[in-house]
Amino acid sequence: MGLLRVTWPAAPALYDRPGEQADFLRRLHIAETVKQDMRRRYAHATRGPAAFDDMARRAHDFWSGYELVNQRWVPEDPVYSKAVTGVAMSTTNDYWELGAASAGQLRILESFIGGEATVSTVARVAVSRVTTQGTGTAPTVYTPEKFNTRSAAAAGTYYGAVGAVVTWGTAQAVLAANPLIVHVFNAFGGTDRWVAQPGEEVYCVNAEFISMRSLTGVAVCSAMVVAEEV
């Protein structure tokens, strides 16, 4: 298969015995080769506008197949989705917020948002790192959907109900000034989708958090984020 440039910051030390670690790295290289090729094809196939139902079906089909590769070669790497449906955006509250476990990491592989406004409305939405976490009563903890039912429960934290924005009791999270991803679209039925090409993944490590929030516009939208816990 040739040399593979693994996109992780470092190979995780999951096993104590050298033989087990070597076996994991062998499986990881095989799986990453297959998954990177799948993701390149998926990113190319999803360019351009499409109906929300079409995008949702295509995403579910792809990530289910992607997770089958994980289940065969690296069951240590489950894939999850966090969804928000039919909720008015906010410029002060996050649409979704997710973070890695205290001694873990995840990578965001896809971010999608579609507008449901009844009139033409410009929407600009950012995916950003959280620099200061919200305070007071914590938001609803969301149980992310597994793309394979055999996957373990998610180790990270996923905030926000499926039908509401993320709300901290006292003060909302403070986000970095420079977004990682920006979605710009007409919320009157428009959609925008970002799919990470290999090497473009957004990593979140050791209890870091990332969230989506509107920069301008409060139209009703639906969104989905796909993350792989590694």
Residues 37-47 pLDDT 10s:
999 998 888 77
Which pLDDT band, with edges at 50, 70 and 90, does 12 fall under?
low
Residue length of the chain: 230
End-to-end alpha-carbon separation of the chain, Å?
Answer: 22
Local confidence band at 180 (pLDDT 50, 70, 90 cut-offs): very high
Are 112 and 192 contacting, i.e. CB atoms less than 8 angstroms apart?
yes
Q: Residue 182's pLDDT band (boundaries 50, 70, 90)?
A: very high
Say yes or no to pLDDT of 226 above 70. Answer: yes
What's the average model confidence in pLDDT over 75-104? Answer: 94
pLDDT in tens, 150-161: 888 999 999 999
Segment 98-113 shows an average pLDDT of 95
Provide the pLDDT confidence category of residue 186 given band limits of 50, 70 and 90: very high
- Per-residue confidence (pLDDT) for residue 82, from 0 to 100: 96
Backbone phi, then psi, for 25, in 5-degree steps? -65, -35
Report whether pLDDT(4) > 50.
Answer: no
Cβ 39 vs Cβ 109: under 8 Å: yes
Domain boundaries, the chain: 13-73, 79-229
User: With 90 as the cut, is the pLDDT of residue 207 above it?
Assistant: yes
pLDDT band at 76 (very low <50, low <70, confident <90, very high): confident
Given a cut of 60, whether residue 187 has pLDDT beyond it is yes
Neighbours of 103 (CB within 10 A): 9
Q: How far apart are CA 108 and CA 33, in angstroms?
A: 18
- 3-state helix, strand, coil split of the chain in percent (to 5) is 20, 35, 45
